[in-house]
């Protein structure tokens, strides 16, 4: 069993095997890597001066992230920024742990951070985590240029009140593809107002995705939502066309999420 001796103390690193939710990290594009687990996505985006990580898993599984970066040969790169799609612990709990390792800047929505504070306060036992120190709160349609990569943020509530969606450009064989990370993977069906907001957010995302250049890459924040591991298998047998470039996959995902929400409010 590995141990980590950062400010979290001698926290046990969960065993890295598939029965425990571990997935070997893999490269998706020239500048995008999957470093998440079986249930929750985490992505690393490379720039010329470091890495940007999108979502950081539940603690203590967040401790897999530096080990995954090492497996990918990225251990020498500084993690300069962490982008958080929303404040649920399975997306935000690793933030402060990674901040201690890398002094990374954290970007999240204000309402996302309010939820993260609540989740941290409620965390217990081996899942106990501290909220991160936030460098910037997102405003709708705000952009952040990190070296040569521009991230644009959209407030798209419905899964939680503070959902933050992200788009940026991925590179593959000299071509650029517009990526979209939807901030909330499903409607909050316990709250009718949030469900209605979710339906509106899905409509907005669909419209945004049609703007040039159209979105062709779906980086869902839960891997089963975009059939991520099926596409990973395809990349091993077809390296001419990147299997993660699939506009239909993105559109089907958005339409399915919206339809499920509509069924609940009718």
**What are the residues facing 164 on neighbouring strands?**
155
With a cut of 90, say whether residue 35 has pLDDT above it. Answer: yes
Report residue 5's pLDDT band, with 50, 70 and 90 as the boundaries: very low
- What's the average model confidence in pLDDT over 207-235? 91
* pLDDT score of 9: 60
* pLDDT score of 259: 92
Q: How far is residue 184's CA from residue 156's CA, in Å, rounded to a whole number?
A: 8
Least-confidence region, from 4-13, 90-99, 229-238 = 4-13
Least-confidence region, from 53-67, 81-95, 96-110, 220-234 = 220-234
Please, what is the average pLDDT of the chain? 92
Least-confidence region, from 155-169, 203-217, 235-249 = 235-249
Q: How far is residue 62's CA from residue 91's CA, in Å, rounded to a whole number?
A: 9
* pLDDT score of 233: 80
Q: How far is residue 86's CA from residue 90's CA, in Å, rounded to a whole number?
A: 9
Q: What are phi and psi of 10, to 5 degrees?
A: -80, 65
* pLDDT score of 206: 97
* pLDDT score of 187: 85
Q: How far is residue 25's CA from residue 34's CA, in Å, rounded to a whole number?
A: 5
* pLDDT score of 11: 76
Biggest CA–CA distance in the chain, Å, is 52
- Lateral strand order in the sheet of 43-47: 26-29, 32-34, 43-47, 50-54, 79-83, 105-108, 134-137
* pLDDT score of 265: 73
Report residue 4's pLDDT band, with 50, 70 and 90 as the boundaries: very low
Task: Give the C-alpha distances (Å, rounded to integers) separating 213 from 91, 93, 94, 106, 144.
Answer: 28, 33, 33, 27, 18
Tokens for 93, please give them. Answer: 């709990």
Q: Give per-residue pLDDT as tens, 51-68.
A: 999 999 999 999 999 999
Domains annotated on the chain, with CATH: 3-265 (3.60.15.10)
3-state secondary structure the chain: CCEECCCCCCEECCCCCHHHCCCCCEEEECCEEECCCCCCCCEEEEECCEEEEECCCCCCHHHHHHHHHHHCCCCCCCEEEEECCCCCHHHHCCHHHHHHHHCCEEEECHHHHHHHHHHHHHCCHHHCCCCCCEEEECCCCCEEEECCEEEEEEECCCCCCCCEEEEEEEEECCEEEEEEECCCCCCCCCCHHHHHHHHHHHHHHHHHHCCCCCEEEECCCCHHHHCHHHHHHHHCCCCCCCCCECHHHHHHHHHHHHHHHHHHHC
Half-sphere exposure of 266 (CA within 13 A, CB side): 6
- What's the average model confidence in pLDDT over 163-192? 92
* pLDDT score of 76: 86
With a cut of 90, say whether residue 232 has pLDDT above it. Answer: no
* pLDDT score of 263: 84
State the angle between helix axes of 192-209 and 247-265 in degrees (0 to 180), rounded to the nearest 10. Answer: 160
Its sign, for the CA torsion 73, 75, 81, 86, is positive
Neighbours of 16 (CB within 10 A): 18
* pLDDT score of 236: 57
Write the CB contacts of 27 (distance below 8 Å, at least 6 apart in sequence): 33, 34, 72
Report residue 189's pLDDT band, with 50, 70 and 90 as the boundaries: confident
Q: Give per-residue pLDDT as tens, 192-220.
A: 899 999 999 999 999 999 999 999 999 99
């Amino acid at each position: 069993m590995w141990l980590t001796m950062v400010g979290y103390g001698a926290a046990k690193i969960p065993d890295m095997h598939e029965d425990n939710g571990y997935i070997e990290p893999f490269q998706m594009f020239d500048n995008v890597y999957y470093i998440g687990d079986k249930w929750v996505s985490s992505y690393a985006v490379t720039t010329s001066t470091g890495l940007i990580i999108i979502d950081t898993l539940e603690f203590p599984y967040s401790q897999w992230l530096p080990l995954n970066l090492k497996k990918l040969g990225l251990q020498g790169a500084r993690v300069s920024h962490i982008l958080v799609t929303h404040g649920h612990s399975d997306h935000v709990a690793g933030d402060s742990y990674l901040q201690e390792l890398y002094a990374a800047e954290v970007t999240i929505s204000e309402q996302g951070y309010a939820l993260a504070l609540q989740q941290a306060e409620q965390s217990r036992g081996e899942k106990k985590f501290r909220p991160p120190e936030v460098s910037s709160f997102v405003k709708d349609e705000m952009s952040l240029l990190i070296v040569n990569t521009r991230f644009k943020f959209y407030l798209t509530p419905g899964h939680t009140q503070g959902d933050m969606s992200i788009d940026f450009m991925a590179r593959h064989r000299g071509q650029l593809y517009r990526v979209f990370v939807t901030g909330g993977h499903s409607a909050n069906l316990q709250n009718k107002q949030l469900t209605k907001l979710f339906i509106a957010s899905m409509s907005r995302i669909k419209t945004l995705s049609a703007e040039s250049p159209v979105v062709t890459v779906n980086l869902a924040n839960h891997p089963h939502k975009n059939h991520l591991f099926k596409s990973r298998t395809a990349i091993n047998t077809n390296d001419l066309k990147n299997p993660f470039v699939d506009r239909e996959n993105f559109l089907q995902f958005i339409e399915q999420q919206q339809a499920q929400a509509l069924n609940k409010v009718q």
